[in-house]
Amino acid sequence: MGAVIRMTKMHGIGNDYVYVDCREHDLSDPPHVARAVSRRHHGIGADGLILVRPSADADCRMEMYNADGSRGEMCGNGIRCVAKYVYDRGLTHNPMRIDTDDGVRTLTVTLDAAGRVSSATVDMGVPVLEGPRIPIASEGRVIDQPLEVGSISWQITCVSMGN
């Protein structure tokens, strides 16, 4: 019989991940586990796998794997769930610092009447608005511009947070 892996599934505004606490016990072959748990019809079903690890530079480290097993640098909704996970378990303080493959992020949590995290805010850095850096097929910025698809028109702004 294989090893038991304790998992927690959490979601934040449309992103759902499976979280594994690896602060004391490591997980072998995270890409394989990410693919297995992410399958919506044959697994738990998720956008991917997030490991909570110790960090020398922050309160903890978030290691993220996409549903296909590839590494992801950062997910704003994923890191907000990490903040809830570690704070509700008494593993950190408020505000907190979480290390990612895209650098250390500072998060602040809001608590409900019972002292549990009800929301989390993360500083994602400076947004990128320049077309080639997003990337989109525009040399300049696309801010509040019309986009027509068939008979429908939307006002759009193109932005990247690097994730």
pLDDT tens digits along 13-57: 989 999 999 999 999 999 999 999 999 998 899 999 999 999 999
pLDDT-derived band at 161 (thresholds 50, 70, 90) equals confident
103-138: burial string, b at 16+ Cβ within 10 Å, e else: eebebebeeeeeeebeebebeeeeebeebeebeeee
Residue-level pLDDT at 1:
52
Given this model, what pLDDT does residue 163 score?
Answer: 63
Residue pLDDT, tens place only, 60-107: 999 999 999 999 999 999 999 999 999 999 999 999 999 999 999 999
CATH topology of domain 8-124: Diaminopimelate Epimerase; Chain A, domain 1 (3.10.310)
Q: The whole model's pTM is what?
A: 0.84
| Domain map (residue ranges) of the chain | 8-124, 126-163
Tokens of 68: 């296909």
Other beta carbons less than 10 A from residue 3's beta carbon: 7
